[in-house]
Amino acid sequence: MEFLNQDFVRFITATLQILASLFIFVMGVGIAAILVMYVVDKSQTQQTIRRNYPVIGRFRYFFEHIGEFFRQYFFASDREELPFNRAQRSWVYRAAKGVDSTVAFGSTKPIKDRGSILFLNCPYPTLAEDALDIDSVVIGPHSSTPYRPGSLFNISGMSYGALSGPAIQALSKGAKVANCWYNTGEGGLSDHHLKGGCDIVFQIGTAKYGVRDQEGNLSDERLKEVASHPQVRMFEIKLSQGAKPGKGGILPGNKVTEEISRIRLIPVGKDSISPNRHPEINSTSDLLNMIDRVRTVTGKPCGIKFVLGATNWLDDLCKEIHKRGMDSAPDFVTIDSCDGGTGAAPMALMDDVGLPLRESLPYVHDRFMQHGLRDRIRIICSGKMINPTDVAWALCMGADFVVSARGFMLALGCIQALQCNKNTCPTGITTHNKQLQRGLVPKDKAKRVASYHDNLVHDVELISHSCGVKEPRRLRRYHARQVMENGLSVSLDELYPYPEVGAVK
């Protein structure tokens, strides 16, 4: 027994000696590292803080980096964060998971803040047995194959390349279950988009990815090839987008893999620069010519997407349509808000160029009414439309459909880490790092995509039924009020009175 005790003591003594040596070694390495950082910081001339406060000054940059992550969890209140506050994100997460989304003990929304929307419940709400299915709306009656979408809420443009393969697959599969469409974004039609079997809107960006010839011009043969897929139901010509109105994109050569090259029809390993507009569209006449060309070649509805800035071109467009005939009009317009989106962009463009949807949607709707074109051209809108209130407001203002990108990204599990353009997205949505993508399982996330869609549409119906209408698209401006600077609300139809149909000749 005494022999065992002596062995135990020797073992403990040896272990402590090893730990002490290891501690001294680590301390030595640490001190050496601090000395090296001290010399480096004192010697460098680029950063004043590090030069004046060597080593310690580095913490400033560390705290600045982690601050954006900590603010949304520990410091920002539920209703003050941008681009989406915690209350907005939490509703999406709960809707996507299909868990209880009710709240108790009163609303935390500052309903007296300027711009808040208040819907007007009526004394005789619509009973469940009186409610109607959502109206079916036809897009492109003058095309060979008109499209009758299955939902008023759909997935906005998100390209393969900007999003990972698993994320695209999850969105496609979820859209199929929800019976809504998915817009490809300007990056072309990938196998990931087709894999889920959903309806697809093919977006034609300024670089014509996926439908270009070797010189980068629009190719009729490529258009026919894309249109041959039964899932592709419409084509959208993108003039501008909310993140960067008036600017094209740059796809670095190191991101142009063989797969991206095959999808976008660009050379492997070479930078691809998108022009800031379609070079062949320089006038209203050019725009209508391209719409007619795409619609004629594909046989499918064709429309345009834009952020509204200057407005006189809309009148020119409407007058040219009347001159040519109703069948020359775009089958739809997608109005994007100026306040950004999933795409990375210069702050000067994202913050300060273009009009927000609050202004542009009623303006476009009313101009089409004045020109007698509202029944011919369907209106789709996008821009931070992630909650039922946003969608119901858009329907009040005259939208036929609402699309969202970031709402569905949150449904996939996005945590608003603001890493979309850095290939380090921790949820695997906007990264091509295989290790990070591993956490995103398309089969499971597709269920969340569909659940988010269904719960949002359900709550939009709740709002419309509370207002006494039987179907969401029957909401009108007099069903809601907007809070003004004095804290009092004004009816939307007073702020935006309906114009006379056909008033402009």
How confident is the model over 281-304, as pLDDT tens digits? 999 999 999 999 999 999 999 999
Higher pLDDT, 391 or 86: 391
Long-range contacts of 167-170 (CB under 8 A, 24+ apart): 167/409, 167/412, 167/428, 167/429, 167/430, 167/440, 167/442, 167/445, 168/192, 168/193, 169/195, 169/196, 169/442, 169/446, 170/412, 170/440, 170/441, 170/442, 170/443, 170/445, 170/446, 170/449
Q: Does residue 141 surpass a pLDDT of 80? A: yes
Q: In angstroms, rounded to a whole number, what is the distance separating the alpha carbons of residues 181 and 162?
A: 19
How confident is the model over 404-420, as pLDDT tens digits? 988 898 888 877 766 66
Q: Are 206 and 261 in contact (CB under 8 A)?
A: no
Q: Does residue 180 surpass a pLDDT of 80? A: yes
Three-state SS string over 354-393 comes to: CCCHHHHHHHHHHHHHHCCCCCCCEEEEECCCCCHHHHHH
What confidence score (pLDDT) does residue 112 get? 76
What confidence score (pLDDT) does residue 429 get? 82
Higher pLDDT, 272 or 71: 272
Q: Does residue 263 surpass a pLDDT of 70? A: yes
Q: In angstroms, rounded to a whole number, what is the distance separating the alpha carbons of residues 333 and 358?
A: 16
Q: Are strands 199-204 and 117-119 parallel, antiparallel or unpaired?
A: unpaired
User: What are the structure tokens assigned to 105, written together?
Assistant: 């003990």
- Residue 351's nearest CA partner among 453, 243, 196 is 243
- As a dihedral over the C-alpha atoms of residue 465, residue 468, residue 474, residue 475, rounded to 10 degrees, the angle is -90
Q: Does residue 75 surpass a pLDDT of 60? A: no
Q: Which residue(s) pair with 347 in the sheet?
A: none
Q: Are 328 and 296 in contact (CB under 8 A)?
A: no
How confident is the model over 300-356, as pLDDT tens digits? 999 999 999 999 999 999 999 999 999 999 999 999 988 766 556 666 666 678 899
Mean pLDDT computed over every residue of the chain: 85
Backbone φ, ψ for residue 277 (5° rounding):
-160, 170
Higher pLDDT, 2 or 45: 45
Most confident of 13-22, 110-119, 373-382: 373-382
- For the entire predicted model, the pTM comes to 0.83
Q: In angstroms, rounded to a whole number, what is the distance separating the alpha carbons of residues 19 and 339?
A: 57
Q: Are 431 and 409 in contact (CB under 8 A)?
A: no
For residue 421, CA distances in Å to 33, 161, 245, 271, 431 come to 32, 11, 18, 16, 8
CATH superfamily, region 128-495: Aldolase class I (3.20.20.70)
Which residues, 6 or more positions from 371, have their beta carbon under 8 angstroms from its beta carbon?
A: 315, 318, 319, 321, 322, 502, 504
In which band, very low, low, confident or very high, does the pLDDT at 254 lie, cut at 50, 70 and 90?
low
- Residue whose entry in the numeric block shows the structure tokens 């921790």: 426
Per-domain residue ranges of the chain: 2-75, 128-495
What confidence score (pLDDT) does residue 106 get? 63
For residue 284, CA distances in Å to 233, 311, 318 come to 25, 13, 9
Q: What is the mean pLDDT of residues 119-135?
A: 88
